[in-house]
Amino acid sequence: MGFLHKSIIFSLTLFIIISILKPSGAIDCGGMNIASNITVDQHDKGAFQTIQAAIDSIKSPNDQWVKIHINAGTYM
């Protein structure tokens, strides 16, 4: 076997091993500990019409989870 062939086999083997051993899935961000919910909607069905306004409404410093729900739409 040539050097290139051995390198490819080694790389694929290493990739498979890392893929199997690496923990995957979502990280628990404390969904049960959400302190408040903010809804963004362009059609006045939420507390804010822009995402930036929703972010700006969160007081600093903040050590609580705040969920920002963004309703469907095109935000610019």
Number of domains in the chain: 1
Report the C-alpha gap between 53 and 51 in whole angstroms.
5
Total-model pTM: 0.56
Domain span including residue 41: 31-70
Residue 5 has pLDDT above 80, yes or no: yes
Instruction: Find all residues with CB under 8 Å of 62, minimum gap 6, and list them.
Output: none
pLDDT at 27: 65
**Distance spanning both ends of the chain, measured CA to CA:** 56
Amino acid at position 36, single letter: S
Q: Which two tokens mark 75? A: 């935000």
The runs of H, that is alpha helices, within the chain are 3-21, 51-56
pLDDT at 23: 66
Instruction: Tell me, yes or no, whether 57 lies in a domain.
Output: yes
Instruction: Tell me, yes or no, whether 52 lies in a domain.
Output: yes
pLDDT at 50: 93
What are the pLDDT digits (tens) for 22-74? 766 666 666 678 889 999 999 888 889 999 999 999 999 988 889 999 999 88
Q: Which two tokens mark 43? A: 């059609």
Instruction: Tell me, yes or no, whether 23 lies in a domain.
Output: no
pLDDT at 33: 83
Instruction: Tell me, yes or no, whether 76 lies in a domain.
Output: no
Instruction: Tell me, yes or no, whether 13 lies in a domain.
Output: no
